[in-house]
Amino acid sequence: MVAEWDAWRDVDVKTWVVPLPAGEASEEGDWHLRVHRIVTGRTIWACDSAFSVSGVKSDGSQRRLVGWDEVLDEGVLTSHGDETAGASALVRSSVGTTGIRALCWSPTATVVADERTEPRPEGRIINCSPNSNIMFPKSLLPTLQVELPPRSEPYWFVSAVFGIAGHNGKDLSWRRSWKERLAFPLWLAHILNDL
């Protein structure tokens, strides 16, 4: 699936959504890719998110998930990434597990106050406004965010989105799937190289 939109006169976004069947890039098939091509004439915050899920503990207390609860095997995890692994954000709650991971982004150096900086996505968890999710009044949204300065060349941002429904206590299959090193599909790399 491909979508194009012009957020403003000087901001163009083209997005490809690519399902990853079991065995192609992921053992379980719990992932899909989003490839974004962004051209911006102004500084913008770009965000890509996984699925919105219940943000309360499964113990019935209606307390928001914060950090990680080893006993309930649920909570939130974020990573800002480094040279070897991309940023990520994950929420595991009573209704399931969802997360997003930065696979690659166009490295672009810009000069700011005589220092070279490179925009890199960061993993964040957004506490959604009450009732923004029709199924869960208190929901959380795993998100990648990056600030993009204006430039004429496109930024490329590829994220992997993860989701498993249900919560089976200490079932560790979600951990195995989340920790998978996803293979970037070769056929997709060829298509993007031709653009």
At residue 108, the pLDDT reads: 47
> What residue type is assigned to position 74 of the chain?
E
Q: Is 170 left (phi over 0), alpha (psi -120 to 50) or beta?
A: alpha
Task: Name residue, tokens 């994220």.
Answer: 159
What is the mean predicted confidence (pLDDT) over 41-47? 94
* Model pLDDT, residue 111: 42
Whether 166 contacts 95, CB under 8 Å: yes
**pLDDT for residue 110:** 45
Q: What is the pLDDT of residue 160?
A: 92
Q: What does the pLDDT look like over 106-157, one tens digit per residue?
A: 754 444 444 446 677 889 999 888 878 888 888 899 999 999 999 888 888 8
- Please count the structural domains in the chain: 1
Q: 193 lies in a domain?
A: no
> What's the pTM value of the predicted model, to 2 decimals?
0.83
Q: What is the pLDDT of residue 116?
A: 47
Side chain identity, residue 141: L
Rg, the chain, Cα only = 18
CA angle 100, 101, 102 (to 5 degrees): 130
Residue 101: which pLDDT band, with cuts at 50, 70 and 90?
A: very high
In a domain, residue 155? The reply is yes
Structural domain contains residue 42: yes
More confidently predicted of 57 and 159: 159
Residue 88 lies in a domain: yes
Which residue type does 71 have?
V
Average pLDDT over residues 60-64: 67
- For residue 192, being part of any structural domain is answered with no
Give the other-Cβ count within 10 Å of 49's Cβ: 18
Question: What pLDDT was estimated at residue 51?
Answer: 92
Q: What angle do CA 17, 186, 122 make, to 5 degrees?
A: 55
Rounded-to-5 percentages of helix, strand, coil across the chain = 10, 50, 40
In a domain, 194, yes or no: no
Would residue 134 count as lying in a domain?
A: yes
Does residue 10 form part of some domain? yes
Residue 173: per-residue pLDDT: 73
The residue range of the domain holding 125 is: 2-187
Mean pLDDT of the chain: 80
Q: How far apart are CA 139 and CA 28, in angstroms?
A: 26
Please give the structure tokens belonging to residue 105.
């982004």
9-32 pLDDT, tens per residue?
999 999 999 887 766 555 666 889
Closest CA to 90 of 105, 104, 71, 77: 77
